[in-house]
């Protein structure tokens, strides 16, 4: 009686078994190469695991120090806060906490009216490609430091970065007002009035809208006809 043809599954099984056989034969003939390769892979895995564990440890240390610096800043100990921020920046510069530390340092320096140093710190924070959640605070802080140091054109650019990307942020009304004021100081009164109009339109019942109406009226004595509530 003739042998029946193999099924497709039988063919797959035979091919798989043949591959296993060939692999085992290769290992038997090349044991040194095989164990060297296995050892290399194991070493690479061990190094990756060590680096990952070490990085996690560094991140925990960096965040612990960041919390310490924030506590110093909140309790009116700016020099202690700056010292810990610098430690994070210098010793944990590759961790996400470094960008937060640069932001915190910029805020403390701004409060001390050390505007050039504050600007530098905010710019370094931006260079770290920080988490998106802190970008609005960096741009608003940078703009404020530039404005208060008299760099109105630079402040305008920083504020415009904020308003273009975060128009609904809780800081937006204040940033729009700062943008309008910077336009005033740079003698661009049309842009200032346009920005005050935006505040009135976007935040109609707010404290900021009332301030914007007052400033708009000062710049344009004719009443602002489209202002809500007029």
Q: Tally the C-alpha atoms within 13 A of residue 90's C-alpha that lie toward its C-beta.
A: 6
Residue 101 maps to a domain: no
Quick one: 71 and 139 in the same domain? no
For residue 112, tell me if it sits in a domain. Answer: no
What confidence tens digit (pLDDT) does each residue in 84-110 have?
A: 999 999 999 999 999 999 999 999 999
Residue 49 lies in a domain: yes
Residue 212 maps to which CATH number? 1.25.40.10
Of the pLDDT bands very low, low, confident and very high (cuts 50, 70, 90), residue 55 is low
**Final residue of a domain: which of 79, 96, 113?**
96
At which residue do the structure tokens 């920046």 appear?
89
pLDDT digits (tens, 9 = 90+) for 56-69: 767 899 999 999 99
Give the model confidence (pLDDT) of 4-21 as tens digits: 444 444 444 555 566 666
Provide the domain count of the chain. 2
């Amino acid at each position: 009686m003739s042998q029946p043809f193999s099924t497709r599954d039988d063919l797959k099984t035979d091919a798989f078994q043949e591959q296993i056989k060939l692999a085992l034969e290769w290992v038997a003939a090349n044991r040194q190469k095989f164990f060297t390769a296995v050892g290399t892979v194991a070493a690479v895995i061990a190094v990756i695991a060590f680096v990952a564990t070490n990085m996690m440890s560094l991140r925990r240390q960096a965040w612990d120090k960041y919390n310490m610096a924030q506590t110093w800043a909140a309790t009116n100990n700016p020099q202690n806060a700056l010292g810990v921020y610098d430690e994070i920046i210098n010793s944990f510069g590759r961790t996400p906490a470094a960008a937060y530390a640069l932001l915190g340092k910029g805020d403390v320096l701004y409060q001390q009216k050390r505007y050039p140093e504050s600007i530098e710190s905010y710019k370094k924070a931006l260079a770290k490609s920080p988490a998106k959640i802190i970008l609005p605070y960096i741009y608003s802080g940078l703009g404020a430091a530039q404005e208060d140091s008299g760099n109105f054109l630079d402040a305008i650019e920083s504020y415009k970065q904020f308003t273009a990307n975060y128009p609904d942020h809780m800081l937006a009304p204040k940033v729009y007002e700062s943008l309008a004021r910077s336009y005033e100081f740079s003698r661009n009164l049309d842009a200032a009035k346009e920005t005050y109009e935006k505040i009135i339109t976007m935040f109609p019942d707010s404290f900021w809208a009332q301030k914007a109406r007052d400033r708009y009226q000062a710049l344009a004595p004719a009443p602002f006809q489209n202002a809500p509530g007029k």
